[in-house]
């Protein structure tokens, strides 16, 4: 999923997402629930990892601009 698509998704805390999965309209068996939960955690980790890289790149760019100005 692209960063723009991620940004357009409303942020739902992980606990609330888990409650949605557990109490949703369709009961999931244990394997389906575990698979869905793992996919959700993986997706959130990927978003957090990408955000960390974006922050690090922005910080590096700001630092290199300051060095060029000096």
What integer pLDDT is reported at residue 65 of this predicted model?
Answer: 64
Kindly report the three-state secondary structure assignment for every residue of the chain: CCHHHHHHCCCCCHHHHHHHHHHCCCCCCHHHHHHHHHHHHHHHHHHHHHHHHHHHHHHHHHHHHHHHHC
For residue 64, pLDDT beyond 70:
no
Q: For residue range 16-47, what is the model confidence (pLDDT) as tens digits?
A: 888 887 888 877 788 888 898 899 889 988 98
Among 9, 18, 19, 16, which residue's Cα sits nearest to residue 46?
9
Q: Please report where in the chains the tokens 């959700």 appear, as a residue.
A: 40
């Amino acid at each position: 999923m692209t960063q723009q698509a991620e940004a357009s998704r409303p942020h739902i805390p992980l606990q609330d997402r888990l409650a949605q999965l557990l109490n949703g309209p369709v009961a999931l068996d244990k394997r389906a629930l575990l698979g869905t939960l793992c996919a959700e955690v993986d997706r959130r980790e990927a978003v957090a990892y990408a955000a960390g890289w974006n922050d690090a790149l922005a910080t590096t760019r700001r630092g290199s601009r300051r060095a060029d100005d000096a």
